[in-house]
Structure 1
């Protein structure tokens, strides 16, 4: 069996080419185990990201609608954000949900940890599920944030995914996993009920 460490690259040189608050990039000269060398390999450094599949006490999904300048369109998305330095992912996720939507509380669990692009990005995205959240405060948006809250049903979310309307892959992926798990649980609950002997 081949040791996975045998496939790791060796960094020969590394230098930063951009160091800005929202974009940090470094250029590295790296050597592959085969001996081949990449003279210019670019790595993007980002902080930890978080997103939240939040549902209120009526089972509605707490989504946000905002403009995304990269594609130049308005999208409906999960509440999401970044973890501040030294902040653990769940604390960051709870803070982002409260600030962007005004919803707090509920039952929280980690659904998955994924990468936007492990080839060039250094960070991970922590995807949380928060069920039974309640509106307890007003939004606390940054000066550059302009978003509105939308309450959607599970059927709405499934339809948007089927129509490719949720473009952010870091949001579509956990939503699909969540809906899949929910469906499996419903099937299991149904089988459990049907297997009980009738009185």
Structure 2
């Protein structure tokens, strides 16, 4: 099943929000017009664990939902930057921590019905504070250290709402051997 794009009109062209209106044709000949797509750069996030086994979370205001939330550190991958390098850079900028090991654990698409990007998921371990934060002009980020138990409680109480970051926690905990998933339904 594949659609053919017959035409594209850009509505907005910005590094963080490029939106287009496509006119598409399905294989059965049906025309789908309009179909809106938001183009965004690839992003990366990590479950960041310090050398003393604390999880680094970031607390920040998210204007689209008008709330201050706890998330994992992360951000956009710069053009030409490989994913692990981008993740290490984002960790250092947002938290001031450098990590001994940064391992890829998965890839997810936030909303493939509208967004065209993926988020690369990582597990970062052995973190040590090496510098102050280097935040972008639009960032106000408080770094919060929690235990693995506190992370689990936060998830179970649905206090962590960023779905991409929940996916990262799932895959990272699986990698750490702290989560077993057999793939079998009860």
Indicate whether the TM-score tops 0.5.
yes
Query: What residue number does 1:56 align with?
Result: 50
**By how many angstroms is 1:184 displaced?**
4.7
1:166 aligns with 2:157: no
Contiguous gaps of at least 5 residues in structure 1 = 1-6, 186-199
CA RMSD of aligned residues (A): 1.3
Q: Would you say 1:27 and 2:21 are equivalent positions?
A: yes
Q: Does residue 115 in structure 1 map to residue 115 in structure 2? A: no
Distance 2:174 2:107 in 1: 17
Following superposition, the deviation at residue 63 of structure 1 comes to 0.8
Cross-structure match for 1:81? 75
Q: Which of 107, 123, 127 is equivalent to 1:133?
A: 127
- The alpha-carbon deviation at position 143 of structure 1 amounts to 2.0
Contact residue 59 and residue 71 of structure 2 kept, 8 A: yes
Partner Cα separation in structure 1 for residue 135 and residue 152 of structure 2: 28
| Alignment size in residue pairs | 179
Aligned to 2:183: none
Q: Aligned with 1:93: secondary structure?
A: helix
Cα distance in 1 between the residues matched to 2:112 and 2:46: 21
Residues in 1 aligned to 2:113 and 2:90: alpha-carbon distance in whole angstroms: 27
1:112-143 CA-to-partner distances (Å, cap 9, x unmatched) read 01101122221110011111111111111122
1:183 equivalent in alignment to 2:167: no
> How far 1:107 sits from its partner (Å)?
1.3
- After superposition, the C-alpha distances for 1:44-86 in whole angstroms (9 at most, x for unaligned) are 1000101011101111101111111111111111001001111
Higher helix residue share = 1
5+ residue gaps, structure 2, are 181-186
Q: Which moved more, 1:113-122 or 1:173-182?
A: 173-182
- Correspondence for 1:189: none
Runs of 4+ more than 6 Å apart: none
Question: What CA distance in whole angstroms lies between the structure 2 residues aligned with 1:96 and 1:12?
Answer: 38
Contact 2:122 2:172 in 1 (8 A): no
Distance 1:184 1:156, change over 3 A: closer
